[in-house]
Amino acid sequence: MAADSKYPQVNQDPFAQGCYQCKINPNEAIAAVVRKSQFLAPEHEHPEAQMSVVFRASGVQFISRNRASRPRASLVTPGSVVYIPPGEPHRTVWDGYGELLNLYWTGETVRELADQSGFCVPASAPTYRIETGAQSVAQLLMDEYVLTGELSPLMVDHARSLIVRRVLRLFSTAKINTPAGLLSTERLARAVEAMQSAPESEFRLLDLARLCNSSVYHFSRSFTARVGCAPFAFQRRLRMQKARDLLVTTEWSVEQIAAAVGIGSSNSFARTFRRETGHSPSQYRRLQTL
């Protein structure tokens, strides 16, 4: 397949070294899957824009440095989407085992998609964003990689277009269309982190609201508006992520995994898992061993 300038030269990106890269030819990548422990990427830059979706890891920091300003560190939680503008120096750090999906676009491609959609191109990396639509598409890519050990460039190309449109919409409308009086993302992060640390637990809205020093109504309204789904839907997604991990890394029965993720009925667990992934738990595990 002929080279296309909209794909980055991965040998210019130390962040991608040692990680799986979905390539269109030996020198160009459109995506990189990073699965490492205690990761420290040196500062680097590349002419392409980068979108990173954090699936898991603790203490994840994206440290970017605009040429005209001092470095700024963004501490993000799993589920966050981070945008790195073209040419902006940045590095990444995390503690413990982590998984992250990087997608790349040229600045020209991002501008074209923004113009087509009527949105603005972000000027700098966000401090904290959660976009459930982008996460869902990225999760499909990560599932494909986990199950097959590779990614189809065509599949990635379609996914990149969907994700960049979702994220451009989020960044462009965050201040314009977000209802006034919502809890800040920093306060909501307390509830998000609690659910991420124990997805199998039963969290009452009252408990989560108290973590954010808020009323139940104000918390629920703010969470849904900023995260893009209700708290119970967010927790369901976290439980299915943990179930994916257990199906791949253990030999536990479906009943054991259902209990481990906080779903008492194996039938209910199987229905939910199929709805989220398109496979039954046994099919998902079998595909991983092919």
Residue type, 185: T
Same-domain status, 23 and 158 = yes
Q: Is residue 4 part of a domain?
A: no
Q: Is residue 1 part of a domain?
A: no
Same-domain status, 205 and 249 = yes
pLDDT surpassing 50 at residue 108: yes
pLDDT of amino acid 187: 86
Total domains in the chain come to 2
Domain end marker among 138, 173, 208: 173
State the chain's mean pLDDT as an integer.
Answer: 77
Q: Is residue 110 part of a domain?
A: yes
Same-domain status, 164 and 195 = no
Lowest-pLDDT range of 6-10, 216-220, 250-254, 276-280: 6-10
Same-domain status, 67 and 113 = yes
Contact 250, 208 (CB under 8 A): no
Same-domain status, 28 and 145 = yes
- CATH number (domain holding residue 89): 2.60.120.10
- Percent of the chain residues topping a pLDDT of 90: 13
Same-domain status, 163 and 70 = yes
Domain end marker among 122, 147, 173: 173
C-alpha distance across the termini of the chain, in Å: 28
Q: Is residue 122 part of a domain?
A: yes
pLDDT of amino acid 121: 66
Q: Please tell me the distance from the alpha carbon of residue 288 to that of residue 284, in angstroms, as a whole number.
A: 6
DSSP letter string, 260-274: HTT---HHHHHHHHH
**CB-neighbour burial class of residue 259 (10 A; exposed 0-12, middle 13-18, buried 19+):** middle
Same-domain status, 284 and 151 = no
Q: Please tell me the distance from the alpha carbon of residue 209 to that of residue 188, in angstroms, as a whole number.
A: 9
pLDDT surpassing 70 at residue 70: no
Same-domain status, 76 and 152 = yes
pLDDT of amino acid 159: 86
Q: Is residue 236 part of a domain?
A: yes
Give the contacts of 263 (CB within 8 A, at least 6 positions apart).
239, 269, 272
Same-domain status, 163 and 208 = no
Q: Who wins on pLDDT, 52 or 76?
A: 52
Contact 50, 10 (CB under 8 A): no
Same-domain status, 17 and 155 = yes
Lowest-pLDDT range of 189-193, 199-203, 225-229, 263-267: 225-229
- Domain range for 119: 10-173
Same-domain status, 87 and 146 = yes
Q: Please tell me the distance from the alpha carbon of residue 108 to that of residue 25, in angstroms, as a whole number.
A: 21
**pLDDT tens digits for range 12-34:** 444 444 578 887 777 677 888 88
Q: Is residue 2 part of a domain?
A: no
Q: Is residue 179 part of a domain?
A: no
pLDDT of amino acid 117: 65
- CATH number (domain holding residue 248): 1.10.10.60
Same-domain status, 119 and 211 = no
- Report the pLDDT averaged over residues 257-263: 93
pLDDT surpassing 80 at residue 168: no
Of 87-91, 119-123, 138-142, 210-214, give the range with the top mean pLDDT: 210-214
